[in-house]
A and B are shown apart, each in its own frame.
Chain A
Amino acid sequence: MASITIRGVRKNYGKTQVVHGVDLDFASGEFVVILGPSGCGKSTLLRMIAGLEEISDGTIAIDGTVVNQLEPRERGCAMVFQNYALYPHMSVAQNIGYSLKVAGVPAAERTQRIQAVARTLELEHLLDRKPMALSGGQRQRVAMGRAMIREPKVFLFDEPLSNLDAKLRVQMRSEIRKLHRRLNATSVFVTHDQVEAMTLADRLVVMNGGRVEQVGTPGEIYTRPASRFVATFVGAPAMNMLEGTVELDGLSLLGGSRRLAVPRAGLPVGTKVAMGVRPEAVRLVAPGTSGALDATVDLVEELGAGRVIYVDLDGSPFSVMTSEAIHPEPGSTVWLKFSADDMHFYASETGGRLDVFKASVPEPA
């Protein structure tokens, strides 16, 4: 159990800066997921916490102790790697118990603790096998066992599920979640998979280009994305974004070809904005409904429980997700409607969120 405090952390490789001043606080026992596209600095940040990368600037403190100069073994962190990084020449038991062996724990106690961990992870019958003779899911569990046995203050996960097949990934996800509930150790989990991030996180950190874009619960991040990047990155299919300009009586979209009647609130006329709406918030309505937009169907993607309809809105791609049994033909015209509450507005230039339009909407808790 430990809190982690990150203050102004930067990382330079030579002259290139890949992490530009990150400030974060992780509470004790919290499960934090760092989400971002590849190359956003999330793994680098995790490795700096672990002590595998030097911290170029700023401080990282675990339980109030600044750990910048400490070796990984002195930080009380355990890490699960993407490729598991099991020692190929050691049996499962030796792999799990290696850190105890290094620490000089007597053989009897070691065996006992290996047994206990193996029982938790249902690895008891595999203890004598070599990693080569294990399936992906089993290797994954051994890697977790290796981290668990040290009873670390902090668990670090570096995209541990990305090498598993889809079904196993879902299963391991819930196992990790269960494990966290029982051990209650502070966990930091890095991933580029938003479903993983949403389902696992107590709190989500969205990173992009070496900066933190937003920190919040999965719900907050989904309902109130703080920037245009977060809005389009979180959620699948991605949020629709339409460029527009603020006018006296509302919003002109797509270079003036479409208009939406939304309250202008404080924004000056002529402000360039991007209007976002999630595909799942768009409804298909009867032709000619007032306030509806007509669009040409490009493609329908069947998902079983629902379907995604990709349409062309005066040259701009737009998608609609519906669970209704509607199967429009490609090339046909559909009418789309969405409420003002479901619209998100971002400044065109900075990508920052503009909440002026939604003054009447209550803040989510």
Chain B
Amino acid sequence: MVERTPFLNFFTHLILFAGFVFCIAPFVIVTIAASHNLKDVNDVPMSLLPGSDFWINIKTAWVTADLGPKLLNSFIVAGGTAIGKVIVSALTAFSIVYFRFPGRMLMFWLIFITLMLPLEVRIVPTYAVVANVLEPYQAIMDVTGLSWLIEKISGVQVSLSLGLLNSYSGLILPLVATATGTFLYRQFFLTVPDELTEAARMDGAGPLRFFIDILLPLSRNNMAALGTIMFLWAWNQYLWPLLITTDQSHAMAVTELKQLIPNVGGSPEWHIAMAGTLIVMLPPMILVVLMQRWFVRGLIATEK
């Protein structure tokens, strides 16, 4: 639609600009605060002119919170979640859209229902499962009397145990097990013309071949979009990592920021906290900037 409405154009740009300022302001304030020294950052009101201690603060924050290994942990967990999520979502959506098996709709609705149960809601049972992944199986065996039977016959008492606390798998797997990606993929697969599926069948491609050769390349944009969202989401997780990592070696960057926040009665080193925030914010920001084009395309456009 082409319209010549100078006044309206000006007005829309004004609104856009206001939104932009609104979004960027906290970020600017954080950056300025990170460049002050201890005295300036605690002035009321804080000076909005940048100070000169930016790099010193960054370094202090990096060393104090030991951010190097923590960032690496965050990368592993966020990356693992993103990749795992893309693979699981694509596969589940593939089976739901392309196969007619008994209980298909039941499966679909079961997955759908998990949308209403985010991690925070089921955090206690999830913690129990991660603490011992085999716990549910143990419970089933106990209830059905199977463990009793085995104990009677072999004399061995069955006690299954596989703990994932303080491990990357423990951090990643519960984050992977959500339904959002499955839906994104399902919607995409539904837009893929049936004739393409049929052409692949006529060309002799089996289901897996079709999935790898045709569907996956076609869903590149979706992969990028979903991967980006999941990376950001996992990167910003707080409650879950805090809960299951008691060991510092598996702590994530976002949770470790707490180390930098001044304690009651401690010296108010907000400039260090702000510098640490900047560091932790940077990787997702870079990712969004890099993936922005793919990301938008994957969410809105259906390529013809």
Contact = CB atoms under 8 A, between A and B. Distances in A.
B184 to A, nearest CB: 19
Place the interface of chain A in its size category. 20 to 34
Contact of A81 (B195, B213, B220, B303): B195
A262 B196 CA distance: 57
Interface stretch (A84-92, A109-117, A222-230): A84-92
Given A98-B213, A102-B209, A85 B196 contact: yes
Given A52-B201, A73-B202, A102-B203, A89 B195 contact: no
Given A89-B217, A89-B218, A98-B213, A103 B195 contact: no
Interface in A45-94: 50-52, 71-73, 77-79, 81-83, 85-89
A146 B203 contact: yes
B202 A82 contact: no
A99 interface: yes
A73 B201 contact: yes
B195 A88 contact: no
B216 to A, nearest CB: 10
A73 B214 contact: no
B202 A50 contact: yes
B193 A83 contact: yes
Nearest to B192: A88
Contacts of A89: 214, 217-218, 220
A87 B215 CA distance: 10
Q: Which secondary structure dominates where chain B touches chain A?
A: helix
B218 A88 contact: yes
A99 B196 contact: no
Given A98-B213, A102-B209, A85 B204 contact: no
Contacts of A50: 198, 202
A322 B195 CA distance: 44
Contacts of A103: 204
B199 interface: yes
Contacts of B205: 73, 98, 102
A83 B195 contact: yes
A43 to B, nearest CB: 12
A96 to B, nearest CB: 10
A78 B199 CA distance: 9
Contact of A98 (B203, B303, B304): B203
A98 B203 CA distance: 7
Task: Name, among B196, B218, B304, the residue most crowded by chain A CB atoms within 10 Å (CB to CB).
Answer: B196
Contacts of B303: 88
A52 B201 CA distance: 8
A73 B204 contact: yes
Contacts of B218: 88-89
Interface in A88-143: 88-89, 98-99, 102-103, 132
B37 to A, nearest CB: 55
Q: How large is the interface on B (under 10, 10 to 19, 20 to 34, 35 or more residues)?
A: 10 to 19
B199 A72 contact: no
Interface in B251-304: 303-304
A102 B204 contact: yes
Contacts of A150: 203
A73 B209 CA distance: 13
Nearest to A75: B202
A85 B201 contact: no
Nearest to B217: A89
Contacts of A102: 203-205, 209, 213
Contacts of A85: 193, 195-196, 198-199
Nearest to B196: A85
Interface in B176-207: 193, 195-196, 198-205
Contact of A73 (B203, B213, B217, B220): B203
A78 B202 contact: yes
A89 B217 CA distance: 7
B244 to A, nearest CB: 40
B213 A72 contact: no
A81 to B, nearest CB: 5
Contacts of B214: 87, 89
Nearest to A132: B304
Nearest to B219: A89
A84 to B, nearest CB: 8
B265 to A, nearest CB: 61
A99 B198 CA distance: 13
Nearest to A50: B202
Interface in B112-156: none
A89 B303 CA distance: 11
B202 A72 contact: yes
B203 A77 contact: no
A150 to B, nearest CB: 8
A37 B178 CA distance: 48
B200 to A, nearest CB: 8
A99 B203 contact: yes
A89 B218 CA distance: 7
B98 to A, nearest CB: 14
A72 B202 CA distance: 6
Nearest to A149: B203
B224 to A, nearest CB: 14
A11 to B, nearest CB: 16
Contact of B201 (A72, A88, A132): A72
18 contacts: A52-B198, A72-B201, A72-B202, A72-B204, A73-B202, A81-B198, A85-B193, A85-B198, A89-B214, A89-B220, A98-B200, A98-B203, A98-B205, A99-B203, A102-B203, A102-B209, A103-B204, A150-B203
Given A50-B202, A83-B195, 12 more contacts: A52-B201, A71-B201, A72-B204, A73-B204, A78-B202, A81-B198, A85-B195, A86-B199, A87-B200, A88-B303, A98-B213, A99-B203
Interface of B: 193, 195-196, 198-205, 209, 213-214, 217-218, 220, 303-304
A-B pairs, top 9 by smallest CB distance, nearest first, are A73-B204, A85-B195, A99-B203, A85-B199, A89-B217, A102-B204, A81-B195, A72-B201, A79-B202
